[in-house]
Amino acid sequence: MALVAGKTIGSDSFSSHRWRCLSHPDRASETLAPYAELKMSIVQAKDLVAADYSAFRTPTSDSYVKVFVDDFPTPHVTSTRKSTNDPVWDYECKVGITVPSSMIRLQVYDWDRVSEDDEIGFVEFCVGDIPWNRKLDGWMELRFKDNMQRTSLWRYASHCTSRDDEITKSRRRAEANKEEVSLEADRKYSQSRNVSMFSACLATASLTASTVGLTAGRAEGPERLNAGEMYIKMEMVLAEGCGTAESLFALALDPPLPQDFGSYIQDENLPQLDLQGLFDDAMDVKRKVFDDSLVSVLYFFSYILRWRSCIISFIVSAALLSSCVVSEFIVPILFGLNAFFMMCLAVTPLRLSMTTGGLNAPYNYEGFSRVAAWGSTPHMVSYMNRVVTDCLFGNVLDVQHAYVLSSRIFRECKPVVDFEDLKKTIRQASKKENTNKAPWFLLGERDLIKGDLVLVDNRRHATVINTRAPNQDGDKAVMVEFEKDLSLGLTASKEPVAVAIARLDLRPSIPRIPSALIPDPIENHIKTLHIHIDEVKMSLFPLLKKIGDVLSWQNKCISALVTIVLLALCANTAYGKMQDDDEDPKDGEIMKVVKTILVYVDDVVFLLIFGYILFGQAPWFQAIRSIFCIAIRKVTMKRKAPELWAFFKEDGDEFINNETSKTYVALPTSPTEQAFV
């Protein structure tokens, strides 16, 4: 459920809209209600990693469990059991399943009153491996939080192959001999250095502690093998109103791309230099080359390949397929297609629809409608991120909730709210009291002040001179002073100009750092880089502007002339090919057969390649692809759990436990270490 502008927008019934799985499988996974339910009982856990200390300085935890589906949090959260490493929750829930291959993650947290809750451990499994209507109950091994690396698919495959406690034991045995041999040498090295006796004692104690499995400066205790164990009961059943037909249609659905947690930590606190001019020039290159040129071209061809206009896509497909069958006419066909593209671009509404999407749509209802017309959630996510960043001067904090909100604000390629309601919804989601726990967005909206650096119409650099100005077309305005831009032939304004606030975007202001603090080699490299970027602007921008004026029919005379020339070339080359006389072959019969076979093979290959490119995103082709996926997955999906789960032991089976029932400090083993054991 999503609340948009005061309206509750829920999911559609799976049984009533199951045909959406064939024609639009990506949208079906986002908008359909669950077809199955995972009945789950989170009973208890034992031997959890301790995250706190009790009043008696005993390691303990205040633990609870949160359920995730495909890295998205769900409302299913257990109660908190305080001051125990063996909590009993007895929590029952029904997790809705829309995609048969969804990944479930059970994440154990330690509740904290003041600070953010700490992660204790987790376990993941795929619902596509769980048999239908079979009750499973047993102990699942919890992994250390440090194992939350890469994607859920990678982690699940690794955990199905081997248990973490077995890997840790193997690693300890392999390292024990090596550390025993090097311990004496390390002691001698630490004592031979010019340090105090106290420092030498600390170094020696730390080396000894690491050998016997202790961690210096922390609570004493043996090395942990895993983060604990959790007792789970589960059963996979069909949802109410769904049957075998719905389970077959669901096989066409793919889960969203798993979140990649990476395998290293990125340093995001890099120092910033006083490079306002360099930053502005670099952003200009990005907007002109990427947003205005590359993205528009990408959307143009994507418009054709997605068959948003059946007439245009059919004409292009017929022309290209004809060039494959009759290869002699490929040149005139290409000339004719380019002329056809020019005629399409001459129609302004069509041109805007073909070249505008989530990465370059304007911030108004018209732009919002053009993005919704694509019927694609990733397009809407890109547009919402731009609205948050450029219009509301903020950033997205909760990517998952922002994705869900983006998928619910349009239906049938049309917005369900207007643009102002969209901004209102984002503002509400930025307040902590309107969300479950943390705000989804962090906004930095503020009134413009004198001296602010702005962009006019997302292109022209300017500076706010006065916040008081006469209204422009009924909108509030400010007085700005335009800056000089030689790459576009624009000069600085001699007097301030009144511009509506709706046309302005705030530019980042880079703080100034005294050049004395910057090393000379670095400063020289930065200056050289700035010169190169300036040269790119001066040489590339005028050329891009001329090409853009022709393609967008801003210069109608040149655009019409180009179209006429292309049509003339098409007619001339086609007429020349038709006048060519067929050459009499003088080869033998075998060579004729060989050439005929090669021609047919060549035609088939070209037909397959161009056919997939042209029809791959068409709704009817999606239906064929979905049926093929259903057939393949019906045969290959075996549902062999829990036999393939190395991390699961059914109730009654012997379970490998930690060496002690007491919990102290975890010494985790990472997936990278596991791979080399």
Domain ranges of the chain: 34-166+228-251+639-675, 282-442, 453-506
Each residue's pLDDT tens digit, 210-231: 443 433 333 334 567 889 999 9
Each residue's pLDDT tens digit, 273-307: 557 788 888 888 888 888 788 999 999 999 999 99
Q: What residue type is assigned to position 121 of the chain? A: G
Reported confidence tier of residue 675, pLDDT bands at 50, 70, 90 = very low
Over range 520-549, report the average pLDDT: 81
For 162-166, 336-340, 563-567, which range has the lowest pLDDT when averaged over its residues? 162-166
pLDDT recorded at residue 199:
41
Total residue count of the chain as it appears in this document: 677
pLDDT at residue 665 greater than cutoff 60:
no
For 2-11, 386-395, 666-675, which range has the lowest pLDDT when averaged over its residues? 666-675
pLDDT at residue 32 greater than cutoff 80:
yes
**Residue predicted with more confidence, 403 or 660:** 403
Reported confidence tier of residue 580, pLDDT bands at 50, 70, 90 = low
Whether 109 contacts 117, CB under 8 Å: yes
Domain formed by 34-166+228-251+639-675, architecture: Sandwich (2.60)
Please, where are the H alpha helices in 251-376?
A: 276-285, 295-305, 310-325, 330-345, 348-355, 365-372
pLDDT recorded at residue 234:
94
Q: What residue type is assigned to position 495 of the chain? A: E
Each residue's pLDDT tens digit, 425-477: 888 888 766 555 677 777 776 777 888 888 887 778 888 888 877 776 667 78
pLDDT at residue 493 greater than cutoff 70:
no
Percent of the chain at pLDDT above 90? Answer: 33
Each residue's pLDDT tens digit, 136-160: 999 999 999 888 888 999 899 989 9
Name all contacts of 580-586 with Cβ < 8 Å and 24+ positions apart: 580/328
Picking from 241, 250, 234, 257, the residue whose alpha carbon sits closest to that of residue 134 is 234
Whether 12 contacts 246, CB under 8 Å: no
**Residue predicted with more confidence, 182 or 6:** 6
Angle of CA points 78, 81, 87, to nearest 5°: 90
**Residue for token digits 């509750």?**
8
Q: How confident is the prediction for the chain on average, in pLDDT?
A: 79
Full-model pTM = 0.67
For 116-125, 211-220, 305-314, 518-527, which range has the lowest pLDDT when averaged over its residues? 211-220
**Residue predicted with more confidence, 586 or 657:** 586
Query: What whole-number distance in Å separates Cα of residue 234 and Cα of residue 92?
Result: 9
Over range 548-567, report the average pLDDT: 91
Angle of CA points 571, 573, 578, to nearest 5°: 95
pLDDT recorded at residue 677:
33
Over range 50-71, report the average pLDDT: 84
